[in-house]
Amino acid sequence: MISIFKVFNPLNVLWLAILMFILRIGYVAQVPDKLEFTFVEPFARLLVPVSYEYAFSPMANVFLAGVLILAQALLLNYLVNHFNLLGKPTFLPSLMYVTLTSLFSPFMMLSAPLICNFLVIWMLFKLFSFYKGDDAKSTAFDLGMIVAIGSIIYLPYVYLFLAIWIALIIFKPFNWREWVSGILGYFTVFFFFAVFYYLNNKLGNFYHIWAPLGTRFPNSININYYNYLVLVPVVLIIVLYFFKLQQNYYKSYVQVRKSFQLLFFIFLIGGLSFYVKSEFNLNHFLLCAVPAAVFFSYYFINANIRWLYESLYLLLLISIIYFQFNTF
């Protein structure tokens, strides 16, 4: 499987669609009677004055989520190849993204974090352009607006604003105007949002939008660890990725090294921002799928022992399908 996707072949899109269907068979077989889809935060509900939460049947919900994931996989693949992050054209990023977005059942339905992954990919296009851009002020302003839009869809996305400043530190010499441009872009969107609140006589509630950001980081989380055994091969691949990255780090171009540094911070920000939502939901970690797919791709594109990396990926596929049919 890995060897097929290592080659940049347009026919791999077909194989990708078939694999995505296979990885969702277990969930489709026992899909719930109702699936809720909420694509804006409650504070932005005024923007969508119609009832839409159950507008799609469960099967339509899963199908549309699959279409979005396939589109995101192809966009991510284009991003990685465009910036030459893996050293040669390949279809591995799309394969890894489709695989990672099949890990848990909440990943396979329509959700706000899934919509936000389009914004994550869009941000990466702009963030990576910092390296060769002479003036990053307009790009930082655009990125601030993207984060603001993402915050309206899914509030924890606001923490990805840090990725703008981190990218400026990694790619550019310090320029306070570029740092301020991102803030201006963010508040431009919310200025118009405040006007909308004012026109609807709700300006007094505007400051409540950011109240959840004051939530304390939880001391503990009650989870059934057996349901997360599927992550064992994921963790193993991540560890192998870091070993490969360490071996090849100084052999890579400077832009590639800096890009992987940024992806690591985005991965951390996406993972650690889960606590903002009062109700813990696994679909939050879809925000980590984009950088994680690039990490996985890096390992598999550089792995030399074919039986090992093919077996490791097969183990991951088997684990995903097995845990869809077996819960503890």
63 within some domain: yes
Spatial contact of 234 and 103, defined as CB atoms under 8 Å apart: yes
Please name the helix (run of DSSP H) or strand (run of DSSP E) that holds residue 168, with its range, or none: helix 161-171
Distance CA 317, CA 314 (A): 5
Distance CA 287, CA 268 (A): 10
Arithmetic mean of pLDDT, 273-294: 86
79-84 long-range contacts (CB < 8 A, ≥24 apart) are 79/121, 79/124, 79/125, 79/128, 80/294, 80/297, 81/8, 82/125, 83/128, 83/255, 83/256, 83/259, 84/253, 84/256
Average pLDDT value over all residues in the chain: 86
189 within some domain: no
The whole-number pLDDT of residue 226 equals 62
Spatial contact of 205 and 197, defined as CB atoms under 8 Å apart: yes
191 within some domain: no
173 within some domain: no
Could you tell me the pTM of the whole model?
0.92
- End-to-end, the C-alpha distance of the chain in Å comes to 30
Considering only 53-62, 75-84, 92-101, which range has the smallest mean pLDDT? 53-62
Opening angle at CA 179, ends 265 and 174, nearest 5: 85
Arithmetic mean of pLDDT, 61-81: 94
What domain range includes position 27?
Answer: 2-131+216-325
Highest mean pLDDT among 13-22, 56-65, 205-214: 13-22
The whole-number pLDDT of residue 202 equals 78
Cα distances (angstroms) measured from residue 306 to each of 86, 101, 127, 309, 327: 18, 24, 34, 5, 32
In the chain, how many domains are there?
1
